[in-house]
Structure formats: structure tokens, C-alpha cells
Amino acid sequence: MAESDVKLLGCWPQLPYVVRARIALNIKFVKYDYLEEIFGTKSDLLLKSNPIHKKIPVLIHGDNPICEFLIIVQYIDEFWSSDPRILPSDTYDRAIARFWGAFIDDKLLALIREVLELRTAKGQEQKAVVEKMIEALELLEDHYVKSSQGKAFFGGESIGYIDIALGCSLPWLRAIEKLTEMKMMNETKVPNLVAWAERFCKDPAVKDVIPDCEKLLELFKMFIAKEQLASN
């Protein structure tokens, strides 16, 4: 099956999940067509390719649709199995990577969604969610120090599964920091993650696909303005 048969359905604002798939494809040097969905709509191709959840991203390889972001990353790593590998080759290390990928989705991204739902709130309610996000980042800082053993990324000298899972949340974290005026990627509390984040965003597989923080911030402010107008 030729690489030219690869398509990825995504959308702006690019959710972290879509960016994960794009980075994985870039790491493997896979040529693909990126098909942009119109925000707020669902194309016939999307509904046909993902009839169960009806959401992006969807990787279409030949005639085969693959859905769900982390499953897509695993598929890319297994089908294009030459180096660089995204998941560790060791069975136990691979299980640990999947554990932290699930932690990032179930904990950190869930908190990002929660703080965005509270975007018109102020004070203690908003601060409490941000503090939980900082606690999650501190756990990831500890795991990074232990797992990287002084190397550039969670996955070693090149970007791996945990790097992709966490790295794609960075623009949202930075936009939320500006929106709430509360620092989460703090050099005092998570200095190693701060340095890691800079390396991640500069990587050739990442820098051209990761969303711009300022554009996300403008989007958040637009949503806030619409909600405030609707409530008046």
C-alpha cells in the first residue's frame, strides 16, 4: 500500500489529538494529505469514516479508516515500523508509556477542558482547577526525570509516545496561562519540563504543525465574549 494513499481528517482549531497524528506521521516521514474539516460541521467523509464517534482525527490508509488519536499513533508506529520508533521496543516500557499517555488524557486534558468550561469564572473555582493541573505536571516532571535519564525526551534522544501525548497540550496550557494569569509551566516547580517543552516545540516533526498559542487565546476570548453577550 503506497504512502500516497494516506489521508488525515483534522480541523482548526486543531485539537491536541489531531496534532498527535500529524507529528507521528512526520516522525516516520510518511507523506499524507491533510483534509481540513470545517469547524462545527461534519463532512460525509468523516461520518462515513468514523460512524461511531463522528469525530476527528481519522487516519485513512488506503480504504481503511483508523479512529481515536492514540490508536492512530500506535498504528502509524506499527505499520511504518522502521526507526525512529515511537513506542518502546521493550514490552514493559511500552506498557508504562501507554499508562502515562492515558494519564495525560484522563487527567491533564480533562482538566484543560474543565478550565475552559470555567473560562468566564473567576477566583477560587478557576484557581482550584489550575492547581490540579500543576499537580499533574509535577507528576509528569518526576516521571520525565526518572525515564529520560538525562536525555532530551521521555522517549530518549528522539520524540516518543509520551512526548507526543504531552507535547500537543502545550499551546493550550500556554493559552490558559495567559487567560487565567496563572503560571503552570513554572521553572521553579517543573524546570525539566520547561526545558523539555522548548526542545519539543523546536523539533522539525513538530514546529510546523503545532498550533499558535496567540491564535488559541484569541479563540478563547471570542468564545468568552459570545457567552457574556448571550448572558446579558
pLDDT average per 10 residues of sequence, the chain (232 residues): 78 80 96 91 95 94 93 96 93 96 93 75 77 95 95 94 95 87 91 97 94 82 68 60
pLDDT of residue 9: 96
Query: Which three three-digit cell numbers place residue 148?
Result: 529520560
pTM (predicted TM-score)? 0.90
- In order of 11, 29, 132, 147, 215, the CA distances from 137 in angstroms are 27, 30, 9, 15, 24
- How far is residue 66's CA from residue 8's CA, in Å, rounded to a whole number? 10
- How far is residue 105's CA from residue 95's CA, in Å, rounded to a whole number? 15
For 66, the enclosing helix (H) or strand (E) is strand 64-67
pLDDT of residue 13: 66
Q: Assess whether the region 3-79 and the region 91-220 belong to the same CATH fold.
A: no
User: Domain map of the chain by residue range?
Assistant: 3-79, 91-220
pLDDT of residue 93: 95
CATH code, 91-220: 1.20.1050.10
**Contact indicator for 212, 171 with CB cutoff of 8 Å:** yes
When the candidates are 3.40.30.10, 3.30.1330.60, 3.30.360.10, 3.40.50.300, the CATH number that belongs to 3-79 is: 3.40.30.10
3 state DSSP class of 51: coil
pLDDT of residue 227: 63
pLDDT of residue 77: 97
